[in-house]
Structure 1
Amino acid sequence: MLKRFKEYFQKITSNRNQHREKVLTVDNHIVEVAGTRYYLSQALITDVPEMLAIERAVYAGKTPWDENAFKTELRRQSGRFYIVMRHEDRLLAFCGCAFDDRRHDAHITNIAVHPDVQGRGLGHFMMKTMIDRAVELDYQTVSLEVRYSNTTAQRMYTNLGFEKTGIKKRYYFGDHEDAIDMTYRLAPKANE
């Protein structure tokens, strides 16, 4: 009896891991956002220099994450999902998320859209992609931190359904700006 239970448990665990792996990958493909076609793909180590360039463009020459932080995240074998969006072979936006099975939370670790294309729906599209992945995994929440001064991002997150759930005092390295915690609560999946 114990042997059959172990076999059953292994099969369930294997199926769950295969499903999770499938959900946390993306086939490179073209997507249309607000009438423009973009190439969506999973982020690679070779994308890091362009990701840093976007951060410099967004954050007045600074990079909140350095090269090693990005590379460490992209090398993780489990629980991380990073996507990039290109137009005419130029990387314009990226988003990363940490998927925590224990807490059933998908935490947005980083998102940036080049200033040249902000306001065209790329941030919204990437956030929706992460929310959809969390739904597929039957998670309870999607969470993030956002700078207190970044009212544009806060507005986008609120429009997506995120709620302000707290403040982290002096959260950001360098300028010690406060961060607002925001959470999107996912409805439980209907039984299939």
Structure 2
Amino acid sequence: MRDAVSTFATRYRPGAALLLTMAALTLLTTGCVTYRFGSATMFRTGIRTIHVPIVRNDTFRHDLGIRLTEAITNEIENRTPYKVTGDPNADSTLTCRVTRQTKQVLSEADTDDPRALNAVISVRSSWVSRDGELLMQNSVVPSDDIGISFAQESRFVPEAGQSVGLATQAAIEQLASSIVSQMELRW
């Protein structure tokens, strides 16, 4: 048994193995030096602050713009490394406009009373840097159009005690999440 150990020790030098291991690690780490890790890597590095003006509202529900602005601000603060500021001279500006808000009847009772409905909200949004560069683009069909359209629906059943107000709030929160998701860098 001792002969096998001494033969192994003389055949394989620990210094050579250590040198080979260090060389392999050096090559691996320098090859991956441009990779970034963590959630901050999904967002642009040159942007630190975002100005989010009150969302314009083209509908008759006067509170949608304020509620969507609050939801977008919360999403940006919670999910991104960006800081929302009231300064119009921020690194970038995210502008949105509510273009449509409707209720769609999905099913009716025999008495023509609606049983299930969708609360639908449509928004047009654009994110532009201080230099005028378009920062948010449609990931499916890129174009030079400055705005991206978003639409969100949320189902509610009045017979079950669900209200249009709660469904609208759910749609607003989902819209805010979709808009902030579009702020992520493309692969």
The TM-score range, normalised by the shorter chain, is 0.3 to 0.5
| TM-score for the superposition, normalised by structure 2 | 0.32
Would you tell me which structure has more strand in proportion to its own residues?
A: 1
| TM-score for the superposition, normalised by structure 1 | 0.32
Structure with max Cα Rg: 2
